[in-house]
């Protein structure tokens, strides 16, 4: 058996008629999912009714699952991270921090996760869509002159307090915490192990190394705007039990705003990556 997929617009693919038994118990299923993900950037799977155990088991078919023990991460189901505006589930700061375009792990100096899997355990009453865009497409859209100019540029990435100003009235303690987050330098153009190139952008991209702030801000704002034009963005409106998987190394994603009472509850896990941003 192999996966049957239907392309989504402008990126992504829906896996039609998924068979949970096959996905969990056939060693080839993980490779098929990974191949489909590499070819389509985002996969949508409906009707699997995953709980935390089966979500983790499916993730393990695709690789090793990232486990942390910081706010939002489950102790009962190591590897599961809750994204919900409920103080019992996670810290508002982290949840609202995911409402801007980003690549998971881009603000750190480690290897970013290969893929992220999000299941919908509580449907948002209003808002709360998830969007994704291809950072390979973002690179391909550059002119030849831009490709040459940007090839050697490096960008400082960090979790920036300014990114929160319209979403949270930061307390002094929260601001101080964010200000101590380290900045890490990544190339603007990521040359992947297979030779393909993508752009490393998003809310964590703070400053192009060696350029003055005005020039750096103008370039980053222009690139972020061009790659996230509506016709390039997949918008997913959640139904209960939907599973969305994105290739974190070739996409950016963001949640759209929602309120504390929206009922939105997402369970996330990520697959350990193997490609440094280089
Ligand atoms: C995330 O950034 O991992 C979550 C995005 C979302 O909640 O839609």
Query: What tens digit of pLDDT does each residue of 37-95 get?
Result: 999 999 999 999 999 999 999 999 999 999 999 889 999 999 999 999 998 988 888 89
* pLDDT at residue number 1: 59
Q: Which residues of the chain have pLDDT under 50?
A: none
Q: Strands 13-16 and 42-45: what pairing?
A: parallel
The ligand 1 atom nearest the CA atom of 81: 3
* pLDDT at residue number 173: 86
- Tell whether pTM > 0.75: yes
Residue 82 CB less than 6 A away from ligand 1: no
Residue 255 CB less than 6 A away from ligand 1: yes
The ligand 1 atom nearest the CA atom of 128: 8
Mutating to test ligand 1, I would choose from 118, 123, 252 the residue with most ligand atoms within 8 A of its C-beta, which is 118
Q: Do residues 200 and 187 make contact, with C-beta atoms less than 8 angstroms apart?
A: yes
How would DSSP label each residue in 191-225?
A: E-TTS-EEE--STTEEEETTS-HHHHHHHHHHHHH
Residue 130 CB less than 6 A away from ligand 1: yes
Residue closest by Cα to atom 2 of ligand 1: 98
* pLDDT at residue number 31: 95
* pLDDT at residue number 148: 98
Q: Measured in angstroms, how far is the CA atom of residue 119 from the centroid of ligand 1?
A: 10
């Amino acid at each position: 058996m192999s996966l049957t997929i239907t392309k989504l617009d402008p990126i992504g693919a829906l896996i039609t008629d998924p068979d949970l038994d096959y996905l969990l118990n056939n060693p080839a299923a993980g490779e098929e999912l990974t191949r489909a993900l590499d070819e389509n950037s985002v996969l949508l799977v409906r009707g699997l009714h995953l709980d935390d155990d089966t979500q983790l088991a499916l993730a393990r078919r695709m690789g090793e699952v990232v486990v942390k023990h910081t706010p939002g991460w489950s102790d009962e189901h190591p590897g599961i991270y809750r994204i919900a505006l409920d103080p019992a589930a996670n810290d508002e700061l982290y949840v609202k921090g995911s409402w801007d375009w980003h690549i998971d792990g881009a603000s750190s100096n480690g290897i970013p996760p290969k893929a992220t899997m999000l299941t919908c355990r509580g449907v948002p009453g209003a808002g709360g869509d998830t969007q994704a865009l291809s950072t390979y497409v973002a690179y391909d859209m550059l002119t030849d002159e831009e490709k040459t100019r940007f090839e050697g540029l490096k960008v400082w990435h960090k979790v920036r307090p300014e990114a929160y100003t319209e979403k949270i009235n930061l307390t002094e303690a929260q601001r101080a915490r964010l200000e101590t987050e380290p900045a890490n330098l990544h190339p603007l153009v990521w040359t992947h192990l297979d030779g393909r190139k993508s752009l490393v952008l998003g809310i964590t991209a703070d400053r192009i190394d060696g350029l003055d702030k005005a020039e750096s801000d103008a370039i980053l704002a222009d690139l972020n705007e061009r790659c996230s034009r509506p016709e390039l963005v997949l918008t997913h409106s959640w139904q209960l039990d939907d599973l969305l998987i994105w290739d974190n190394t070739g996409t950016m994603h963001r949640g759209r705003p929602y309120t504390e009472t929206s009922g939105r509850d997402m369970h996330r896990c990520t697959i350990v990556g193997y490609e440094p941003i280089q």
